[in-house]
Amino acid sequence: MRPAVLALAFAGAFAASSASAAVETTASCRRASGDVAAACLADWTRLLEGCLLSQDPTCEAALRAPGGPLAARAAAAGDAARPFCSPPSLDALAYTSNDDLALRVREACADFGNDLVDVAFSADVATLPRPLLRCQRIVARQLRRLRARIVDALGPDCFAADARGGGTCDEAARDRQVARARAFARQHIRRVCRDDLAALALAAGDAAARLETVLDRTVARTRHFAQLVYPPRNLGPSSLPGPFPVGVRTFAFADASRANTAGTGPRPVTVELWYPSTPAAIAGVPRDVAVVLGVPVAETTAYRNVALAPGTFPLVVFSHGDDGIRIQSVFFAQHLASHGYLVASMDHHGNTFVDTLSGVVDPNVAANRPLDVSFVIDEVLGPSSVAGAFLAGRVDADRIGASGHSFGGYTVFALAGGAGVAGTFTDPRVKAILPQAPANLQAPAFYAGIHVPTLIVGGSLDETTPFASAQEVPFVELPSGAAVVGLARLTDAGHFTFSDFCEVPRALLGFLGGFDEACEPRHLAWRYAHDVVNYLALNFFDAVLKDDPAARARLDPAVVNRIDDLVYVEK
């Protein structure tokens, strides 16, 4: 166990030195905390690899024991990362606190450490004969070297460099460096392993295909690790929080024209409203904490029940996914609100996970969802409602957009189209829609009747609403002619990447599900993905609701396709 002792000693020394050199800049915070996570990943994989190559089954069990060397190494890394970052730096990198930073470093070290070792090793390593064990040793060594080169190329040499100098990263040179490191690993593995490579059975296919699959996975997942622990935040001001601090309020509406699922009263429609506030209004107010079923889930960057900023603002309504909840995409709502939007997100009665747990199920949910959205617009615009009174004179009724995730994507399509599977719900007040990983429940001809600006976003690893059938098919059917008709695909994003699922504590997420559709190492780092979604959303709504030519220029496919891990087309 000598390597574990050395690793823990290193972590303790790192923590001690960091405590004496607290740094206040975002660049230093990113670099230092990322380096701590990268060192932890290197130690984690090295310890596991040593055990596996020893072919001693008791070794790995000892490493993984509760409170054992691996757990201690990750905990030490989380503690070591804390002193490097001040509150402004944490905010700039989308960490909510030092506790959040420490948690994400620990999770990244463990999640990616386990996954990358699984990618590199045969499932039968304990029984490999000597010639195959020699090949396995070479594979492990070369992939370890490849991972280190990728982390350096993306993290310290690129994302951290961008923060220091504003665009000092040469992406082409970075990608060439990664390609050279990959080619080097391929060459050395082939030269040493030869015919033994096929017998390792690291992946499906013949020997050459297996090696390419392993290299692909190693490169992609190491990229995701670097994006997670060295947050790039390099897409410009439209992807970052805007000038307004964000307020949040909850409104409990009831639609008397429709009954609740039990038929005992009006249909409830609870709404979370995010809105622009002012520095004076939030002074001394603690940040809001999202609460689900009475359990505090995560701190947000909004402030509850503070004053609304002066002015008139566009409105975006948001519809959650099937069995979702109105606060499932706080990242999206807060971003728009910080840039001068009102964002109203509602619970769809009988279709939230809280309702499902209580046995409350809406049999007419496909019809009630778009009706809920139109009802919320009525309430927000109506001066007689509580929300209407709060927003009196503040909503630009001619600039209303809608967005939704999954079943919520179906919902906003329904608001913009004509007759569909559950009826006709066209709401001419909705001037633009942004479906996120939408469910495709309509016949193809339905989409031909949508004439408002539309931007569909989805992920290449979405297994719930697959990109080809659920996003590409509607896009193909949409007519051209609107100010924007676009389709964006985030490479390696899963279905719940377009939500805050990965921000939820693991114990609660295990109960809700969704981890394997957003938060695994195979997925694009979710906070980086949120920056991409926010970039697209703000520029889309600014372009089509505010007639902003600069925002439209930032949506030019030639510009958007320079963003890592994004493919964008327009009609």
Predicted confidence (pLDDT) per residue in 457-474, tens digit: 999 999 999 999 999 999
| Percent residues over pLDDT 70 in the chain | 94
Residue 262's pLDDT is 95
Is the pLDDT at 506 greater than 80? The verdict is: yes
Most confident of 79-88, 127-136, 488-497: 488-497
Per-domain boundaries in the chain: 2-233, 238-570
What phi, psi does 476 have (nearest 5°)? -60, -35
pTM, two decimal places = 0.93
DSSP per residue over 84-125, as a string? G--HHHHHHTT--SHHHHHHHHHHHHHHHHHHHHHHHS-TTG
At 243-295, the pLDDT tens digits run 999 999 999 999 999 999 999 999 999 999 999 999 999 999 999 999 888 88
- Strand locations in 278-429, DSSP E? 289-292, 295-299, 302-304, 313-319, 342-346, 395-405, 419-420, 423-424
The residue that leads in pLDDT, 77 or 14, is 77
Q: Which CATH class is domain 238-570?
A: alpha beta
In this prediction, residue 524 has a pLDDT band, given cuts at 50, 70 and 90, of very high
Is the pLDDT at 400 greater than 50? The verdict is: yes
DSSP per residue over 411-460, as a string? HHHHHHSSEETTEE---TTEEEEEEES----S-HHHHTT--S-EEEEEET
Residue 273's pLDDT is 98
At 447-460, the pLDDT tens digits run 999 999 999 999 99
At 128-187, the pLDDT tens digits run 999 899 999 999 999 999 999 999 999 988 887 765 445 578 889 999 999 999 999 999
Q: Which residues of 108-147 are buried (b: 16+ CB within 10 A; e: fewer)?
A: bbbbbbbbbbebbbbeebeebeeebbebbbbbbbbbbebb
At 292-347, the pLDDT tens digits run 888 888 899 999 999 999 999 999 999 999 999 999 999 999 999 999 999 999 99
In this prediction, residue 200 has a pLDDT band, given cuts at 50, 70 and 90, of confident
Residue among 310, 327, 309 at smallest CA distance from 318: 327
Answer whether 218's CB lies under 8 Å from 143's CB: yes
In this prediction, residue 10 has a pLDDT band, given cuts at 50, 70 and 90, of very low
In this prediction, residue 21 has a pLDDT band, given cuts at 50, 70 and 90, of very low
Looking at residue 467, the DSSP 8-state letter turns out to be I
Is the pLDDT at 5 greater than 80? The verdict is: no
Residue 391's pLDDT is 94
Is the pLDDT at 383 greater than 90? The verdict is: no
Residue among 437, 447, 558 at smallest CA distance from 499: 437
Is the pLDDT at 507 greater than 70? The verdict is: yes
Return mean pLDDT, the chain: 92
In this prediction, residue 15 has a pLDDT band, given cuts at 50, 70 and 90, of very low
Answer whether 316's CB lies under 8 Å from 402's CB: yes
Which of 67-81, 237-251, 496-510, 554-568 shows the lowest per-residue confidence on average (mean pLDDT)? 496-510
Residue 18's pLDDT is 39
In this prediction, residue 513 has a pLDDT band, given cuts at 50, 70 and 90, of confident
Residue 11's pLDDT is 40
Instruction: Kindly give, in sequence order, each residue whose CB lies less than 8 Å from that of residue 76, ignoring residues fewer than 6 positions away.
Output: 8, 11, 12, 14, 15, 40
Residue 8's pLDDT is 36
Residue among 232, 275, 231 at smallest CA distance from 95: 231
Query: What is the torsion angle, in degrees rounded to the nearest 10, for the CA atoms of residue 20, residue 104, residue 148 and residue 134?
Result: 120
Is the pLDDT at 119 greater than 60? The verdict is: yes
Residue 162's pLDDT is 60
Residue 170's pLDDT is 87
